[in-house]
Chains A and B, each alone.
Chain A
Amino acid sequence: EAQVTQNPRYLITVTGKKLTVTCSQNMNHEYMSWYRQDPGLGLRQIYYSMNVEATDKGDVPEGYKVSRKEKRNFPLILESPSPNQTSLYFCASSSLGQAANEKLFFGSGTQLSVL
């Protein structure tokens, strides 16, 4: 089954404790992206990657890191989480081509709470 898998689904942590949210896709997609979703603000892009070893900042990259060492994986790293990073996070992927971003496949989300 074609899917984007995020883990964990729920995470509660404390300020300053490094964490990683994993994302994996089995569709051989070149493009992967991370979004955060906050009430009233919709989905905002954190980082994206056009292919292996190619990552770029989105609209709200501060406080986050990503890596793309393999095509299928795109982990999101919070080196020193802060309470304002409490949010619902989504990983997404799509194939590149004439309509990149047109049909993003989203994971089920990771609800992060930073205390």
Chain B
Amino acid sequence: GESVGLHLPTLSVQEGDNSIINCAYSNSASDYFIWYKQESGKGPQFIIDIRSNMDKRQGQRVTVLLNKTVKHLSLQIAATQPGDSAVYFCAEVIKAAGNKLTFGGGTRVLVKP
């Protein structure tokens, strides 16, 4: 069956270092992928997305890489800050399935001062 999952449940990062959060997916029919950030006590917040016909997209301090050959997605956060401490979810969207959105299990990022 289709699934979207994450490799590491918790990532501890030194402030100022770069963070890399990984995500594996199994459905090759996915049209695009989204990264969400969820801070404690809040709902998920959109960070960045990437279309399936792209392999890289950059935002402010974040870069998403997509490797369709191995069905792997990553989110890179440059110069990690204390405010980046949160749980990060990847999600896939399949337009043919009515824009069905499937979330991964989440990775917690802890930024150490």
Instruction: List chain A positions with a Cβ less than 8 A from chain B.
Output: 4, 35, 40-45, 56, 90, 92, 99-109
- Contact: A106 with B41, CB < 8 Å? no
The tally of residues in B whose CB lies under 8 Å from a CB in A reads: 19
A-chain residues with CB within 8 Å of residue B46 when the two chains form the complex? 102-105
Interchain pairs with CB closer than 8 A, number: 46
CB-CB under 8 A for A42 and B104, given A101-B99, A102-B32, A102-B34: yes
Is the C-beta of B61 less than 8 angstroms from some C-beta in chain A?
A: no
Docked complex: B36-51 residues within 8 A CB-CB of A: 41-46, 49
A-chain residues with CB within 8 Å of residue B93 when the two chains form the complex? 101-102
Excluding A4-B43, A43-B103, 9 further A-B contacts by CB distance (< 8 Å) are A41-B105, A90-B44, A92-B43, A100-B99, A101-B93, A102-B32, A102-B93, A104-B44, A106-B43
CA distance A104 to B45 in the complex (A): 8
- Contact: B101 with A101, CB < 8 Å? yes
Docked complex: B63-113 residues within 8 A CB-CB of A: 89, 93, 98-101, 103-106
CA distance A99 to B52 in the complex (A): 13
A-chain residues with CB within 8 Å of residue B89 when the two chains form the complex? 42-43
Contact with A along B9-33 (1 / 0, CB 8 A): 0000000000000000000000010
Choose from B45, B100, B104, B106 the contact partner of A106 (Cβ within 8 Å): B45
Choose from B41, B43, B49 the contact partner of A102 (Cβ within 8 Å): B49
